[in-house]
Structure 1
């Protein structure tokens, strides 16, 4: 329970600004190419990208009631607060990427903190390109590395408590410079130095500061990375924990109807790699849907897929997944490499999912740049021209039965 109360930092309050799209039978076609301005288009007319209608998805499917009505006993609360707290406690104890800040020791080994910082800073590579398409180069990467200030790390690090006072990015290195693998990633901001985000009221531990004094290397409940010092206020432990608790909304009852209603509050919200630019990404989306019902899970897809306390069906490379997909229940999570989708239900032989996605490819070769939380069929989605999503499924995960 301590993990849930002291470390679980929900952001579901941000859903208040996301409106469920009104039913519409005709949506205007948006022109490509898509940029960040398209991604931030009004949510009210969106299933993913503004004005883009997804084949196989009717206007009725853009309402949570459509899916809830198809579920037997959808409103039944299947797990009480005590059961979820017990699950969270076990998940926290057995997961290496969730952190009960309240249990942190008074000092940490400097060598261990240095290892955490170095592991992240390896993301900054000279071959990455900046927003102008130019390689970062050795000199720029060296400056980033120098700003991590590793030489100033003491042998014993004393974590300092702080509270987050404004939403801020978590970065691999102490810089706001954006870096990309290829030019196609620039318009949609797939920034390889962007890790995640923190939200107002969250408690974090400051483990180190940058050479320029503008960045802090922090430990949040689900991530370690650099964030702007200006978004933090140093406070004592009790105040940090009290403020963290104050921003946690009361969890909804754990029912399939509540899972679906929560997911649809995000419908049309912009996709953003690593929560950049005030957005969310696929793993952030599903983790916050489940967080609204009180369930704690890690930040990234691979870590979510491997949570030891969840019910997980794993697949070998050659195993057929058809029957498992057909048997998936609403709320189940389908993981393919680098992406996660939440099952909504089945219509005939088709399984439908809701997911936060840059876009999807269809069996006929079309690519739809959705850039947002979208309802799509599953079986027609393609990982590439020859490989359907279904062949790429690594696991189907059910956090609670």
Structure 2
């Protein structure tokens, strides 16, 4: 399809923007009025209708754990881990690197440095068998390819995408502790959604029962804002200034006595919650903590509705893109995962696993589909549908003139204006864009690279 033909099939607002060059916002097809949740909610016929109720969500989560091999049921791990199991986990992610990599100054990473990282895995120290150990995340923790803070990049000057950054774990997440790095500063952990290296001081080790009992305590609060942060309490630094992300569940100590201070402060202005922390010996302990009543939280998971999907997505609007949850933010798959987690819906961590998971109502977009057939399908998409292209995911936020618009955490978008000139906008954040005018490369429309659509609905 030519550039002119592509413009002709755009929504009216996108055609107008392309005719002018770029819209007033600097992003094709987007005007100021579209940059808020209420605009898109107001376009829905039944924005508050329940898409899936709690029972249906629980059943879907169960399917995920039963059918999706990317998900780890760590609570049901055997009491003893074999050397082969532990080594297999580590080698699945910590593969030797033979490509040229650069540091933050643009200098080539020496081969000796990369070789040393492989040695730091201490694979020869994995015992033939070992008792299964458990722990819990106490502070937001980066998951790393290797046990190092060294940031590496594929190109000089491109320091956004650290190739050793995998993901992040949030406070209250249970993990299995499988191995230690040669210097003892990192643990290799297996969480429900990911396995990688994490700094040891972010994990508190504890017995299996208290670790998993904590995840089931009631009553509880759900963080429904982009983030929430506990009150600064120098009397108990282990639970002071703890960042909690959207969808994180924390036990609520609802019966805390009104005349009993919490970590040196009266609690009438805050929720009293319970958080894990690491004592001086690295052991798992729990403590009351204060979460301000101004925090965006809910007494339960939010109802899964189109309106709530849009609202939750827009709470991240404008946030910087963070590959693998770098920059204390999130990437495209983390973005949609955290939106859905605020409803109690669990998703695999990475786009490659999300896109093919059998737990949802998946529409496979076969390679043989024509552009016109693909356009016919995407016109039927609804709010909350997840659209996958290689390495990226977008969530439908609504329609304009019959065509879908998406919200996504993206490095940038490419399109051709009415004259056929190629335009690249470096968004580097959570953004709303039309879908149809986007290009995957210089010539191929993004629509033609859609591999699948996941529908979190009946």
**Interval containing the TM-score (normalised by the shorter chain):** 0.7 to 0.9
Matched with 1:29 is none
Please tell me whether the aligned partners of residues 123 and 192 of structure 1 are also in contact (alpha carbons under 8 angstroms). no
Matched with 2:262 is none
Runs of 5+ consecutive residues of structure 1 not aligned to the other structure: 1-50
Matched with 1:248 is 249
1:158 to partner: Cα distance: 2.2
Matched with 2:38 is 65
Query: For residues 34-49 of structure 1, what are the structure 2 equivalents within 5 Å?
Result: none
1:121 to partner: Cα distance: 1.3
Matched with 1:359 is 412
1:282 corresponds to 2:332: yes
1:101 to partner: Cα distance: 2.1
Equivalent position SS for 2:147: coil
CA distance in 2, matches of 1:126, 1:389: 28
Matched with 1:158 is 131
Matched with 2:270 is none
Matched with 2:431 is 374
Counterpart of 2:161 (choices 174, 190, 206) is 190
1:149 corresponds to 2:206: no
CA distance in 1, matches of 2:96, 2:451: 25
Equivalent position SS for 1:221: coil
Shift >4 Å, 4+ stretches: none
Query: For residues 2-401 of structure 1, what are the structure 2 equivalents within 5 Å?
Result: 53-122=26-95, 124-125=97-98, 127-186=100-159, 189-245=160-216, 247-248=248-249, 250-320=300-370, 321-364=374-417, 365-401=422-458
Please tell me whether the aligned partners of residues 123 and 193 of structure 1 are also in contact (alpha carbons under 8 angstroms). no
Please tell me whether the aligned partners of residues 102 and 152 of structure 2 are also in contact (alpha carbons under 8 angstroms). yes
CA distance in 2, matches of 1:400, 1:173: 38
Point out the more displaced range, 375-384 or 125-134. 125-134
1:366 to partner: Cα distance: 1.1
Point out the more displaced range, 120-129 or 366-375. 120-129
Please tell me whether the aligned partners of residues 174 and 191 of structure 2 are also in contact (alpha carbons under 8 angstroms). yes
Change (3 A) 1:350 1:400: closer
CA distance in 2, matches of 1:80, 1:243: 24
If the length of structure 1 is used for normalisation, what is the TM-score? 0.84
Point out the more displaced range, 354-363 or 117-126. 117-126
CA distance in 2, matches of 1:358, 1:78: 30
Runs of 5+ consecutive residues of structure 2 not aligned to the other structure: 1-23, 218-247, 251-299
Equivalent position SS for 2:151: coil
Flag the structure with higher strand content: 2
CA distance in 2, matches of 1:55, 1:96: 39
Query: When the two structures are aligned, how many residues end up with a matched partner?
Result: 349
1:97 to partner: Cα distance: 1.1
Matched with 2:233 is none
The higher-RCO structure (CA 8 Å, 6+ apart) is 1
Change (3 A) 1:190 1:225: same
Equivalent position SS for 1:382: coil
If the length of structure 2 is used for normalisation, what is the TM-score? 0.73
1:306 to partner: Cα distance: 0.7
